[in-house]
Chains A and B, each alone.
Chain A
C-alpha cells in the first residue's frame, strides 16, 4: 500500500514539476528573446496597444460576465426541466470547438458590416464576448452545482427567499469558480488574435471612443512576427503582455474574491 502510494505521489509531483518547468522555459524564452528590444521608445510605441487591450478586456467582460453568470444561475437554480438544461449545456459546450477565425468572420459580418459598427473596439468586444460565453457559463455552472444543498435548505428553513439565498449563500460559495471563469476568459481575450483583428481592426493609435478601431497587444505582436518585421519586438511585446496580464489577474483576484 505504502509503496503504491509513494509511486502515485511521485507521479503527481512529477506532473506538477513538469508544468512548472514548461512554464519557466516558456516565460524565460519569451523574456530573453524580448529583452533586446525593451527600451523607452519601444514601451511608448506599445501604449496604443496596451490601451486597446485594456479597453477590450474591460468591455468584453462587461458584456459577457454578468449575462454568463445569470445564465448559469438560471440553468442550475431555476430551470425546471433537466432535459432542456442538458441540451442547452451540450450546445453551449460544443460552440467552444469552433475555430476562432469563424467567430471572427461572424463578427465581421454581423457587427462590422450588418450592424455597421465598422472595425471598432465595440465589434471586437461583442465578438469576443460571444466567444467566451461558453467558458463562463460552463465554469459557473460547475461552481454552482457544488454548493451543498444543505446550505440552501438551511437558508430556506430560516425563511429566506430564493433570491436572498442566492445572494447571501450561494454566490459567495461560488466566488472561486467565478474568478476562475473570469481569469480563463481574460486569458482567452488577451490571447486571441484572429477574431480580434477581423473585428477590431489594427489601427495603431490610442482609440478615442469605442467605435474606434484599435490594435491589441496580441494583434500587434502577431503582425510583428508574421511579417518578420522584428522578432525581438514581437517577443518584447509578449513580455509586456505578460506583465499586463499579471496586473489584471492580480487585480481580479483581489476584487472578486471574498473570504469565506
Chain B
C-alpha cells in the first residue's frame, strides 16, 4: 500500500479529466458570450463565439483519442474505467452545449431588428439559468462533488418552469405581434436551445454521480412542450 505505482497512467487519467473540465469551461464561456451577443445585439461577438466552437470540436476528438488509447494500453477498471467512460459521455454533452451556443450565436448574428424588452427579459432569465447549471455541473466534475451534482439535478425543475413560462410568453407575443416581430420567433428556438443546454448540464451531473459512486441515476423528463 505504501508505494503508488502506474504514475504515468494516473497522470494520463488526470489529463483526460482536466481536458474535459477545460472543454466545459470553454462551452460555458460560449453560452455566456452567445447570450451577451444576443441581448446586446453584438454581431461581432456572435461571430467570435461561432468561431470559438471549433476549439471545442477539436478537444472532443482529443479526449476520445486519449480515452481509446488508455483502454487499449492500460485496461482501466473500477474508478479508472469510470473516468474513461464519463470522459466519453461528459465530453459529448459538453460538445452539444457548445453546438447550442453556436446556434444561439448564429441566431444573434442574424437578428436585424431590436428585441422587444419583455422578450429580452424572459430569455435573459432562461439564459442565466442555463449558464448557471453548466457552471455548477463543470464545477461538480472538476471538484468530484456529488453534492454539487445533486444541486444541478435539482435545478432542472426550476429550468423547466422558466422554460415553460418563457415559451408560452414568447408564443403569445408572436401570436399577437405576428410578422412584425420576426426576432421573437427566433427567440422560441433559442429558448429551446437553452432548455437543452440545461438538460446536458443535468446529464453531466448524473455522470459525475456515476463517476464517484458507480450508481446510475437518470432523471426522466416529462416534456410538456
Are A and B subunits of one complex? no
Which residues from chain A sit less than 8 Å from chain B, CB to CB? none
Which residues from chain B sit less than 8 Å from chain A, CB to CB? none
